[in-house]
Amino acid sequence: MRQQFRALLIVVLVAVWAVPARAEVSSERRFLICQASGVTTAEDAKPYIDGFGKFLAGRLGWAADTYEVRFETGDCLKALETWKPSYATIPLWDFLAAETRLKMEPLVFAKVGGKTSTVYRVLVKKGVFSSIEALKSKTLTGNMVADATYLSRVIFRGAVDAASHFVLQQKSRPLRAIRKVARDKADAVLVDSLQFDSLRELSVFAQLEVIFTSEPVPNLGLVYLKGAAKAGDVGAFRGALIAMCGDPDGEEICRTFGLEGFVEVDAAALAATRVLYGGGR
């Protein structure tokens, strides 16, 4: 149970910071933490991420009443549009879909497991399906199947049209989705590198096999919104993030999250992913 909770936290928090919400502050220092789905609540996450926020605010010289955080689960683009934060952690597919329209810019990549990218895998029960082509009209579940365009173009690289090939079932609990496949209640599940590595420790892993492995996809850390983020803050915030895991006070925070660090954005890798997706709208 502890491993499941930790894995869920890292999916959300691999590139976030937070403090309890206070009185309304300028949009220049509003932080949105958003996950497309999941079971982690702001109350559950607070003990783990409060130190993250305090560390960064301390390094930047920000007083406690000059910044604000909001934690959301669900429609991250709607949250961006309605609350208008200056910084955010959002799924890569949401960034690709709306980076131009919402004037988003990548701030940092996240390094986990020695890499600044993740790999997606499709898992099925052993001996049932041999390829993604064999999953025609079958159920593909998981907590990262909401954007059919991202699935089709970035993960499957045009091999299938996800919307017409699969019956897509977005779930908030990735472990439950995995167990549904093992119990013959779903046909296949999509997982990323973090989920796959965590799954190896569970007994259910022996019942499953991989039938598809994607090319590496960037680990987008944080983004900032041009016109909302204060120009003078952006570079300083990026620098504080990149230095955090090498700082004696920040090292323990990074270790807690299984995070090895933040790094400069790999512009070439992100540009290639943009081309696959088709450009931000």
- The three-state DSSP-derived secondary structure of 180-237 is HHHCCCCCEEEECHHHHHHHCCCHHHHHEEEEEECCCEECEEEEEECCCCCHHHHHHH
* pLDDT one-digit tens code per residue, 74-98: 889 999 999 999 999 999 999 999 9
Give the pLDDT of residue 40.
66
pLDDT, the chain, mean:
86
Give the pLDDT of residue 211.
98
The CA distances from residue 61 to 20, 58, 167, 255, in Å, are 17, 5, 49, 24
Give the pLDDT of residue 121.
98
Helix axes 42-60, 231-244, angle to 10 degrees: 110
Reported as a pLDDT band with limits 50, 70 and 90, residue 46 is confident
Give the pLDDT of residue 2.
40
35: three-class secondary structure by DSSP: strand
